[in-house]
Amino acid sequence: MVLKINNMKFKKIALSLFLACYFTGYVQAQTTAKNGEAEKLNNNATLDELIDYALRNKIELRQAHIDQEIGEREIASALSGWFPQINASASLVHNIQLPAMVIGGETIRMGQTNTSAIGFQADQAILNPELFQASRAAKYIRQQNNLNLEDTKINTVVDVSKAYYDILTSEETIKIINENIVRLKRQYTEANARYETGLVDKIDYKRAQISLNNANAQLKSANEARKYKYDYLKSLLNIPTAEEISLSFINQSLEANILLDTTELLNIANRVEFQQLETLSEIQKLNTQYQKWSFMPRLGAYANYNMNYFNNEFSQLYRNNIPSSSVGLSLSLPIFTGTKRIQEIRRSELEEERIEWDLKNLENMISAEYSAAMASYRSNMNEWRNAKENMDLSEEVYNTIKLQYDAGVKTYLELMTAESDLRTTQLNYLNALYAVLSSKLDIQKALGTVETTL
């Protein structure tokens, strides 16, 4: 029997320890998440993984989530006025001289030397303009906070996408420069061999050396630019610059992402900025209504209970309690406030009118922004097509001149010129391609069609 009891106790203790460890681990996990410790980014991260990571970890987005929480607390604080307000008060008085009254020509001192009171009062608002306004405005404040978060998400998606494409462009640029260096090294070796055998003078291989030096310097500059671009991406992801990240560019052809439906019509209502301003307009209308409600009376109910103690001897003060209590209604009605309420109503109406003009101005700005983004996209597409054609032509010219140079028909200077043209057109092609992708993102942002959920 003792063994059975001990086993039961052991099981209870083990269960208690298990629950304690579980909840301790849970609390620690929640504390870690709240302390803002960033999670690890996957190796060889794709663009979608970068965007998803940024939407969870970017500092501005975390702040936007905190702003949402602050907004909820502000709403709860404003609406708490609908709950009963209970207060307590206490007093302790020692009368050095009792108050006196003259009755029938005689001075009579009244009261006790020591008095004390402990009171409780509950107030309940019934009719209150401030609480009416807070109740109706709660929906729009939540909507405004959600729109602020959505705006931050849109900017995050656009910024991370541009940074990723910029890095991809740099990687392709470095690849082109490395291929160019390989060609230049081969040409330098060939030119030097021809000079050694006396077929040509030293001018050719000196030129080859100059071109090779320039290409190596260009490669170093491209590597430095790539390092900065990675650091900029880390700042968007809330990753320390000292931490290494690796990106995946598999199946991420730049050309595959440049197409856009240019026939899609602009719908200004899709823009977050327009929705934010519309929400602000609704809040301002509520404010005007609140100013009109200020003519209403304020009605409330109350109940109080007081414990009163009186005695000339301090040690006997709290021996006897003489309670008092009451319930009732309170009504206050502002009659004349020096035209302040009328002026506040008019001011609020003027602010409504101003927001209407802000909406009109925003419509014009969005239309101009969309027009500029579309013009930039079409212009960049033309530049890209031209750069692509020039790159293909330059590659064909270089291959032809290289064969002719090897056959001794063309001079080394002509070969170097063809090689320089090829490198230039390849880099121009990449820059034009990135410009197309960047302007495409600008159009999607102008249209309000940027996807913030993956």
Residue 195 has a CB neighbour count (10 Å cut-off) of 17
Per the CB < 8 A criterion, the answer to whether 130 and 290 are in contact is: yes
pLDDT for 280 equals: 95
d(CA 415, CA 207): 11
In this prediction, residue 11 has a pLDDT band, given cuts at 50, 70 and 90, of very low
pLDDT, average across residues 331-346:
90
pLDDT, average across residues 72-95:
94
Q: What percent of the chain has pLDDT over 70?
A: 90
Of 421 and 199, which is predicted with more confidence?
421
In this prediction, residue 43 has a pLDDT band, given cuts at 50, 70 and 90, of confident
- 190-196 long-range contacts (CB < 8 A, ≥24 apart) are 191/412
Please provide the average confidence, as pLDDT, over all residues in the chain: 87
pLDDT, average across residues 360-370:
95
pLDDT for 190 equals: 83
Judge whether residue 370 has pLDDT over 60: yes
pLDDT for 37 equals: 54
User: Exposure of 52 by Cβ count < 10 A (0-12 exposed, 13-18 middle, 19+ buried)?
Assistant: middle
pLDDT for 28 equals: 41
For residue 106, what are the CA distances in angstroms to 100, 102, 109, 149? 10, 5, 10, 77
Judge whether residue 21 has pLDDT over 60: no
Judge whether residue 36 has pLDDT over 60: no
pLDDT for 380 equals: 94
Please report the domains of the chain, with CATH numbers, ordered by start residue: 42-83+128-297+336-447 (1.20.1600.10), 84-127+299-332 (2.20.200)
Q: Which residues pair with 327 in a beta bridge?
A: 303
pLDDT for 13 equals: 40
Judge whether residue 396 has pLDDT over 80: yes
Judge whether residue 359 has pLDDT over 90: yes
In this prediction, residue 3 has a pLDDT band, given cuts at 50, 70 and 90, of very low
Judge whether residue 147 has pLDDT over 80: yes
User: Exposure of 206 by Cβ count < 10 A (0-12 exposed, 13-18 middle, 19+ buried)?
Assistant: middle
- What one-character DSSP code corresponds to residue 327? E
d(CA 418, CA 211): 12
Judge whether residue 92 has pLDDT over 80: yes
Q: If residue 308 lies in a helix (H) or strand (E), which one and from where to where?
A: strand 298-311
How distant is the alpha carbon of residue 159 from its chain centre?
A: 12
Judge whether residue 82 has pLDDT over 50: yes
- Torsion angle in degrees (nearest 10) through CA of 137, 139, 145, 147: -120
Beta carbons within 8 Å of 226's beta carbon, 6+ residues apart: 167, 170, 171, 174
In this prediction, residue 38 has a pLDDT band, given cuts at 50, 70 and 90, of low
In this prediction, residue 155 has a pLDDT band, given cuts at 50, 70 and 90, of very high
SS (H, E, C) 76-137: HHHHHHHCCEEEEEEEEEECCCCCEEEECCEEEECCCCEEEEEEEEEEEEEECHHHHHHHHH
d(CA 260, CA 380): 13
For residue 437, what are the CA distances in angstroms to 46, 134, 253, 411, 433? 17, 45, 11, 40, 6
pLDDT for 177 equals: 93
d(CA 386, CA 431): 12
pLDDT for 338 equals: 87
Judge whether residue 389 has pLDDT over 70: yes
Of 332 and 202, which is predicted with more confidence?
332
pLDDT, average across residues 31-50:
71
d(CA 304, CA 113): 25
In this prediction, residue 104 has a pLDDT band, given cuts at 50, 70 and 90, of confident
Beta carbons within 8 Å of 21's beta carbon, 6+ residues apart: none
What does the pLDDT look like over 239-268, one tens digit per residue?
999 999 989 887 667 787 888 888 888 999
Judge whether residue 203 has pLDDT over 50: yes
Lowest mean pLDDT among 84-93, 112-121, 187-196, 315-324: 187-196
Judge whether residue 14 has pLDDT over 70: no
Of 181 and 18, which is predicted with more confidence?
181
Lowest mean pLDDT among 185-194, 244-253, 324-333: 244-253
pLDDT for 199 equals: 67
d(CA 401, CA 358): 62
Judge whether residue 354 has pLDDT over 70: yes
Beta carbons within 8 Å of 258's beta carbon, 6+ residues apart: 381, 384, 433, 436, 437, 440
Judge whether residue 22 has pLDDT over 70: no
d(CA 231, CA 223): 12
pLDDT for 191 equals: 81
- What one-character DSSP code corresponds to residue 253? -
Judge whether residue 183 has pLDDT over 60: yes
Beta carbons within 8 Å of 273's beta carbon, 6+ residues apart: 151, 362, 366
Judge whether residue 209 has pLDDT over 80: yes
d(CA 382, CA 319): 98
pLDDT, average across residues 383-400:
94
